Amino acid sequence: MTATVEGARGTQPPVPDGAVTVTVKIRRFNPEVDDEPRWDTFDIPALPSDRVLNLLHYIKWYVDGTLTFRRSCAHGICGSDAMRINGVNRLACKVLLKDLLSAGGKPTTITIEPIKGLPVNKDLLVDMEPFFEAFRAVKPYLITYGNEPTRERIQSAADRERFDDTTKCILCACCTTSCPVYWTEGSYFGPAAIVNAHRFIFDSRDEGAEERLDILNDIDGVWRCRTTFNCTDACPRGIQVTKAIQEVKRALLFKRV
Amino acid sequence: MSLALDKPRSPRRPAARRSNGELYSWLFMRLSGLLLVVLVLGHLFIMNILDGGVHKINFGFVAGRWASPFWQFWDLSMLWLAQIHGGNGLRTVINDYARKDATRFWLKILLYISMVLIISLGTFVIFTFDPNITN
């Protein structure tokens, strides 16, 4: 291919040494044209040290500029590029091609789909609003009563340790959209909202634990969790999501935070 | 607070009902599950393995067992626990998978009616069983 394609950046750059050709199979949907999502495949050169995000960039920049996906920092911090890669939810910027290559030099196909359970706007871009609605509903901010202290709110290292794991959440939606309960029933708060509630419920400086526990005690709250551990497997930050949900269940069960 | 007007058109969910129903149903599933393991495995062992297995079961065998309040209680608790445990499990499945509120409502009504029917019929038989019945 010498001619540039629509929306693309320019001609394809020279193929670097050590590159292999991989097939990238992408689940695409253009609301202006398609009635149903469709599969598109691209054969592109890539280095084993590339991330999946590099492959998507290559396709968007040099092969098909209409490919749509989110990404911002591209370093696993912003949480924009969550997608279903070979059937599991991952951040495209954290998955290396060498971990997806077939053994023995056989041809490799990488399947990329939008995360499941949220409405698809276009290609890999989903409407995150239902996800953020659940997040807002658990009041993910500091709640205190009484006069504000004149000094900073002090906390011991041991008290900080209790919710340390759940502070790592970047709201990428990998966990929530890997949850089979969330797939079928979108009114379930989902793992990410519970993780962010956990972060404040177990914070010794916060006084809103009871409100949040009430919210999570309802029909769409923690009792919907079936402990399938999909969320823990999916979390790109390594948060023990299912454990956090269990801790909220325990707090409700024994009326003790 | 400006927060309430932050996103006026975004979906909102109803306020929490402050009820412990889901907690109790979750807890019941764990406890009844433990009991059912003992009750059902014991039942299977007595019925299918002990004393020649399934071939020994006849009218007289059942009549002999139900003469004792212990086995009456065993069978009664097995019936109630299994029905409510299974019914509650199906209720969660319906809650998860029914797409429309109407479907969800009618499936649950169907479920509850069948539960009540089976529980009452079983309880009725256990307590009114007459070993001296002829034909």
What are the pLDDT digits (tens) for A147-190?
A: 999 999 999 999 999 999 999 999 999 999 999 999 998 889 99
A 98-137 → B contacts, CB under 8 A: 129-130, 133, 137
DSSP state of A65: T
Q: Which of B17, B19, B96 sits opposite A184 (nearest CB)?
A: B96
Q: Is the pLDDT of residue A4 over 60?
A: no
Asked, for residue B15, whether it belongs to a domain, the answer is no
Answer yes or no: are the C-beta atoms of A47 and A19 closer than 8 Å: yes
What are the pLDDT digits (tens) for B27-53?
A: 999 999 999 999 999 999 988 888 777
B18 Cβ under 8 Å from any chain A Cβ: yes
pLDDT above 90 covers a percentage of chain A that reads 88
Query: Which chain A residues are Cβ-neighbours of B101 within 8 angstroms?
Result: none
C-alpha span between B117 and B128 (Å, rounded):
16
C-alpha span between B15 and B13 (Å, rounded):
7
Q: What's B106's domain CATH number? A: 1.20.1300.10
C-alpha span between A29 and A123 (Å, rounded):
5
Q: Is the pLDDT of residue A142 over 60?
A: yes
Identify the band that residue A209 occupies on the pLDDT scale cut at 50, 70 and 90: very high
Interchain proximity A129–B10, CB inside 8 Å? yes
Asked, for residue B110, whether it belongs to a domain, the answer is yes
Counting the structural domains of chain B, the total is: 1
pLDDT at A1: 47
Instruction: Find the mean pLDDT for residues A7-20.
Output: 85
| Residue-averaged pLDDT of chain B | 88
| Residue-averaged pLDDT of chain A | 93
- Which residue is associated with the tokens 């010794």? A204
**Spatial CB neighbours of A133, under 8 Å, sequence gap ≥ 6:** B10, B11, B12, B13
What are the pLDDT digits (tens) for B72-81?
A: 999 999 999 9
Q: Is the pLDDT of residue B4 over 70?
A: no
Nearest CA in chain B to A128: B10
Q: Is the pLDDT of residue A139 over 80?
A: yes
Asked, for residue B80, whether it belongs to a domain, the answer is yes
Instruction: Find the mean pLDDT for residues A24-45.
Output: 96
Asked, for residue B14, whether it belongs to a domain, the answer is no
Interchain proximity B96–A253, CB inside 8 Å? no
Interchain proximity A253–B27, CB inside 8 Å? yes
Q: Which of A129, A185, A217 sits opposite B20 (nearest CB)?
A: A217
A134–chain B nearest CA distance, Å: 9
pLDDT at B135: 56
Asked, for residue B3, whether it belongs to a domain, the answer is no
Residue A43 φ then ψ, to 5° = -100, 115
pTM: 0.87
- Complete edge-to-edge strand list for the sheet that includes strand A20-28: A38-46, A20-28, A108-113, A82-85, A88-91
Task: Provide the residue range defining the domain that includes B89.
Answer: 25-128
Instruction: Find the mean pLDDT for residues B63-90.
Output: 94
C-alpha span between A21 and A115 (Å, rounded):
25
Instruction: Label each residue of B72-107 as H, E or C.
Output: HHHHHHHHHHHHHHHHHHHHHHHHHHCCCHHHHHHH
pLDDT at B10: 61
Asked, for residue B9, whether it belongs to a domain, the answer is no
pLDDT at A136: 94
Q: Is the pLDDT of residue B119 over 50?
A: yes
DSSP E strand boundaries for chain A: 20-28, 38-46, 82-85, 88-91, 108-113, 120-122, 125-126
Asked, for residue B65, whether it belongs to a domain, the answer is yes
Query: Which chain B residues are Cβ-neighbours of A218 within 8 angstroms?
Result: 16-17, 19, 22
Identify the band that residue B11 occupies on the pLDDT scale cut at 50, 70 and 90: low
Strand, coil or helix: what is A233? helix
Asked, for residue B7, whether it belongs to a domain, the answer is no
What are the pLDDT digits (tens) for A76-106?
A: 999 999 999 999 999 999 999 999 999 888 9
